Amino acid sequence: MSRSSRWLSRGEKVIPGGVNSPVRAFSAVGGEPPFIARGEGVELIDEDGHHYLDCICSWGALMLGHAPVEVVGAITKAASAGTTYGAPTGAEVELAEELVDRVPSIEMVRLCSSGTEATMHAIRLARGATGRDLIVKFDGCYHGAHDACLVGAGSGVATFGIPGSPGVPEGTAQNTVVLPYNDLAAVEELFAERGGAIAAVILEPVAGNMGCIPPREGYLEGLRAVTQRHGTVLIFDEVMTGLRVARGGAQERFGVTPDLTCLGKVVGGGLPMAAFGGRADLMRELAPTGPVYQAGTLSGNPVAVAAARATLSALTEARYAHLEHVAAAVEDGVRDAVAYHGWSMHRVGSMFTLFARKQAPWDFAEVKECDTRAFGRFFRGALSCGVYLPPSQFEAVFLSAAMTEVHVATLVGGIEAALVAANA
């Protein structure tokens, strides 16, 4: 019995499924998850000494690979001065100034500890500021595990085929309308009927929780226009895309500025940190300057802030250019094999997904037509080649700036072999 298997059977006795987040359990692809001993650069090494090229990067959180020296050094230095004070620090102000400088929509920002918190608070802020209750989300988009958004979510919940989740009160779900992604007519139709009652529209500007699905031409611009016309708050959930698909996130890449933005993953440099920010007039509605309550014991703690600042300093234009070059090389390398095996692919920057479907999907209904059993064979085929891809058709591959041409060749070879295994 492998060490990982022993850890799993031990873990299942004290942690549901032996994992602290459902998608890690490999339920969607079969087999048992390796238990990780350490990460080094582009690699994960498991408890049995197997080395994997890490193409999940902690679900997109790692832009610089594992244990980058500048981030580890900053964490160590900060921790030696105390891990949390529960009081304001100058470092939080400097991080906030950096986010205001980087992200077009952000005039003011509040730090928190997870992407779930960020979207939950952004939605409460939009409701508090507009006095309206209704929110709109899109099928296949996932905004974290909180009630208002566990209605037709796309990550985890969709992988387990549970539309919404038990435990979400009927009354809560009734305040969330779920529309198809990339369908502007559906949004305009809803607004024509109920525009005045809609507090917010929230979406992933590039979806990553139904696989990587880009916005169709004009889609983001159309959402911006219709929400502007009806006084509805447009929220970009950039927990996945923020600081990844461009220095200023998807809003910079696509040139559309929302009213509020949620950040997570990359912004924390691998530590528990997230943020939400946007128009100053909205943000000032938050306590203590306004009536909308939001709080967090470890929000802006000095260690996570140090990791964040070290990461943002390392994310130079040159690093983004390198990441784009590596990701484009992978796409070019697998293009022929993807077409030959009757699969398809979407890539935006350093996130991409291969779909077990001939035509590339543009919404969740089309993604659900993918052959998920073939995807399971694909995933296991890649893993056996030492390439660690996301264990679900409904997730995205993430690359890190630690990757070089050598790793590109390894990843391309692994995907080609995995496609053969998928269609065996």
- Give the footprint of ligand KE4 on this chain (CB under 6 A): 21, 23, 59, 114-116, 119, 142-144, 155-156, 204, 208-209, 237, 239-240, 264, 395
Between 191 and 364, name the residue whose CB sits nearer to ligand KE4. 364
Smallest separation (angstroms) from ligand KE4 to the CB of 186: 21
DSSP string covering 244-286 = TSSTT-HHHHHT---SEEEE-GGGGTTSS-EEEEE-HHHHTTB
118, 274 in Cβ contact below 8 A?
A: yes
Between 59 and 378, name the residue whose CB sits nearer to ligand KE4. 59
264, 115 in Cβ contact below 8 A?
A: yes
Q: Which residue is nearest to ligand KE4 (CB)?
A: 115
Smallest separation (angstroms) from ligand KE4 to the CB of 420: 27
**265 is annotated as an active-site residue:** yes
Whose CA is closest to 214, among 14, 81, 349?
349
Between 139 and 204, name the residue whose CB sits nearer to ligand KE4. 204
Between 92 and 238, name the residue whose CB sits nearer to ligand KE4. 238
CA angle 410, 416, 140 (to 5 degrees): 100
- Identity of residue 364: F
**DSSP state for residue 333 in the 8-state scheme:** H
Smallest separation (angstroms) from ligand KE4 to the CB of 116: 3
Dihedral angle over CA of 116, 119, 120, 124, nearest 10: 170
CB neighbour burial string for 5-31, b if at least 16 within 10 angstroms, e if fewer: eebbeebeeeeeebbeebbbbbbbbee
- Identity of residue 103: V
Strand-by-strand arrangement of the 36-40 sheet:
36-40, 43-46, 51-54, 387-388
Smallest separation (angstroms) from ligand KE4 to the CB of 109: 16
Between 207 and 360, name the residue whose CB sits nearer to ligand KE4. 207
**183 is annotated as an active-site residue:** no
User: Phi and psi dihedrals of 160, rounded to 5?
Assistant: -90, 10
Smallest separation (angstroms) from ligand KE4 to the CB of 347: 17
CB neighbour burial string for 131-150, b if at least 16 within 10 angstroms, e if fewer: ebebbbbbbbbbbbbbbbbb
Annotated catalytic residue within 46, 54, 137, 142: 142
**142 is annotated as an active-site residue:** yes
Exposed, middle or buried by CB within 10 Å (0-12, 13-18, 19+), for 84?
middle
Smallest separation (angstroms) from ligand KE4 to the CB of 123: 12
Between 137 and 309, name the residue whose CB sits nearer to ligand KE4. 137
Annotated catalytic residue within 46, 139, 237, 259: 237
Annotated catalytic residue within 265, 320, 363, 388: 265
Catalytic residues: 142, 237, 265
